[in-house]
Structure 1
Amino acid sequence: MNDSPEHDASADDRRFPGLRRRGFLAVAGGAAGVGALALTGCAGSGPAAGTAKAGGTPRRGGRLRAAFAGGGASETLDPHLANLFADVARAKALFDKLADYGPDLSARPRLAATWEPNAGLDRWKVTLREAAFHHGKPVTAADVLYSYRRITDPKKAYRAKASLEPVDLEASRAPDARTVEFVLKRPTAEFPNVLAAFGAYIVPEGEQDFDGQPVGSGPFRFVSFAPGKSAVFRRNEEYWDGAPYLDELEFVVANEESARVNALLGGQVEYAHELGPTTARAHEGRGRIEIVRLRNSAMQGFVMKTDRPPFDDKRVREAFFLIADREELVAGALSGAGEIGNDLFGKGYEYYAASLPQREQDLDRAKALLKQAGADGLKVTLDTSPVAAGFTEAATIFRDQAAKAGVTVTIRTGSKDSYWKDILDSGTFASYRSGAMPIEAHISQRLLTGSTTNATKWQHKDFDTLYEQAQSTRDTKERAAIYERMQRRLHTEGGFLVWGFADWILGTAKNVRGVDAKAPANSLDWARFDKVWLA
Structure 2
Amino acid sequence: MYDERLPGLRRRGFLAATGAASLGALALAGCAGSDDAGTDKKSKGDGAPRRGGRLRAAFAGGGAGETLDPHKASLFADAARAKALYDKLADYGADLSAQPRLAEKWEPNASLDRWQVTLREATFHDGRPVTAADVLHSYRRIADPRQAFRAKASLEPIDLDASRATGKRGIEFVLKRPTAEFPNVLAAFGAYIIPEGASDFDRKPIGSGPFRFASFTPGRSASFRRFDDYWEGAPHLDELEFVVANEESARVNALLGGQVEYAHELDPTTARAHEGKGRIEIVRLRNSAMQAFCMKTDRPPFDDPSVRQAFFLIADRRELVDGALSGAGVIGNDLFGKGYEYYADGLPQREQDLDRARALLKRAGAEKLTVTLDTSSVAAGFTEAAGIFRDQAAKAGVTVNVRMGSKDSYWADILDNGTLCCYRSGAMPIESHISQRLLTDSTTNATKWKHKDFDALYQQAQSTRDATDRAAVYGRMQRRLYTEGGFLIWGFADWIIGTSKSVKGVVAEAPANTLDWARFDKVWLA
TM bin, normalised by shorter chain, reads over 0.9
* CA distance in 1: counterparts of 2:452 and 2:37, whole angstroms: 47
Partner of 1:268: 259
Give 3-state SS (helix, strand or coil) of 2:160's partner: strand
Q: Alignment partner for residue 329 of structure 2, among 329, 332, 338? A: 338
Query: Counterparts in 2 of 1:382-393, with a 5 A limit?
Result: 382-393=373-384
Give 3-state SS (helix, strand or coil) of 1:169's partner: coil
Distance 1:503 1:48, change over 3 A: farther
1:396 equivalent to 2:396? Answer no
Shift of 1:183: 0.9
Letter of the structure 2 residue corresponding to residue 28 of structure 1: T
* CA distance in 2: counterparts of 1:197 and 1:352, whole angstroms: 20
Letter of the structure 2 residue corresponding to residue 454 of structure 1: N
The answer (yes or no) to whether the contact 2:19–2:60 under 8 Å persists in 1 is: no
Partner of 2:214: 223
* CA distance in 2: counterparts of 1:379 and 1:407, whole angstroms: 6
Partner of 2:191: 200
Q: Alignment partner for residue 202 of structure 2, among 206, 211, 214? A: 211
* CA distance in 1: counterparts of 2:35 and 2:195, whole angstroms: 23
Partner of 2:514: 523
Distance 1:73 1:422, change over 3 A: closer
Give 3-state SS (helix, strand or coil) of 2:228's partner: coil
Partner of 2:6: 12
Shift of 1:506: 0.5
Query: Counterparts in 2 of 1:310-329, with a 5 A limit?
Result: 310-329=301-320
Shift of 1:50: 4.2
Give 3-state SS (helix, strand or coil) of 1:170's partner: coil
* CA distance in 2: counterparts of 1:365 and 1:73, whole angstroms: 51
The answer (yes or no) to whether the contact 2:153–2:443 under 8 Å persists in 1 is: no
1:55-78 Cα shifts (integer Å, max 9, x gaps): 211221211111112223322211
Shift of 1:472: 0.4
Shift of 1:122: 1.2
* CA distance in 2: counterparts of 1:38 and 1:183, whole angstroms: 24
Shift of 1:115: 0.8
Partner of 2:503: 512
Give 3-state SS (helix, strand or coil) of 2:164's partner: strand
Letter of the structure 2 residue corresponding to residue 347 of structure 1: K
Query: Counterparts in 2 of 1:37-436, with a 5 A limit?
Result: 37=24, 43-47=34-38, 49-436=40-427
The answer (yes or no) to whether the contact 1:330–1:338 under 8 Å persists in 2 is: yes
* CA distance in 2: counterparts of 1:53 and 1:519, whole angstroms: 12
After alignment, is 513-522 or 70-79 more displaced? Answer: 70-79
Give 3-state SS (helix, strand or coil) of 2:323's partner: helix
Shift of 1:7: 5.7
After alignment, is 286-295 or 242-251 more displaced? Answer: 242-251
Partner of 1:34: 22
* CA distance in 2: counterparts of 1:63 and 1:383, whole angstroms: 42
Distance 1:382 1:70, change over 3 A: closer
* CA distance in 2: counterparts of 1:292 and 1:298, whole angstroms: 15
* CA distance in 2: counterparts of 1:255 and 1:387, whole angstroms: 10
Partner of 1:534: 525
Percent of residue pairs bearing the same amino acid type = 78
**Alignment size in residue pairs:** 522
Shift of 1:42: 5.4
Q: TM-score, normalization: structure 1? A: 0.94
1:99-147 Cα shifts (integer Å, max 9, x gaps): 0011122211100011111112111110011111112221110110011
Q: TM-score, normalization: structure 2? A: 0.95
Write out the 4+ residue segments of structure 1 that deviate beyond 4 Å after TM superposition: 37-42
Partner of 1:3: none
1:483-520 Cα shifts (integer Å, max 9, x gaps): 11111111111110000111111000112111111111
* CA distance in 1: counterparts of 2:418 and 2:289, whole angstroms: 23
Shift of 1:341: 0.6
Give 3-state SS (helix, strand or coil) of 1:500's partner: strand
Shift of 1:255: 2.0
The answer (yes or no) to whether the contact 1:12–1:229 under 8 Å persists in 2 is: no
Letter of the structure 2 residue corresponding to residue 412 of structure 1: R
After alignment, is 313-322 or 178-187 more displaced? Answer: 313-322
The answer (yes or no) to whether the contact 2:26–2:513 under 8 Å persists in 1 is: yes
Shift of 1:154: 1.9
Distance 1:226 1:420, change over 3 A: closer
1:412-467 Cα shifts (integer Å, max 9, x gaps): 22333333223222322221111112211111111111222211121111111100
1:200-233 Cα shifts (integer Å, max 9, x gaps): 1111111111222222111112222222222222
Q: Alignment partner for residue 492 of structure 2, among 493, 501, 516? A: 501
* CA distance in 1: counterparts of 2:202 and 2:408, whole angstroms: 26
The answer (yes or no) to whether the contact 1:448–1:454 under 8 Å persists in 2 is: yes
* CA distance in 1: counterparts of 2:26 and 2:248, whole angstroms: 19
The answer (yes or no) to whether the contact 2:26–2:92 under 8 Å persists in 1 is: no
Letter of the structure 1 residue corresponding to residue 461 of structure 2: A
**Root-mean-square deviation (CA), in Å?**
1.8
* CA distance in 1: counterparts of 2:61 and 2:404, whole angstroms: 25
Give 3-state SS (helix, strand or coil) of 1:525's partner: coil
Distance 1:137 1:451, change over 3 A: same
After alignment, is 350-359 or 490-499 more displaced? Answer: 350-359
Letter of the structure 1 residue corresponding to residue 164 of structure 2: R
The answer (yes or no) to whether the contact 1:25–1:255 under 8 Å persists in 2 is: yes
1:317-359 Cα shifts (integer Å, max 9, x gaps): 1111111100100111111111111101111222211222211
Distance 1:169 1:121, change over 3 A: same
* CA distance in 2: counterparts of 1:246 and 1:418, whole angstroms: 36
Shift of 1:360: 1.0
Give 3-state SS (helix, strand or coil) of 2:161's partner: strand
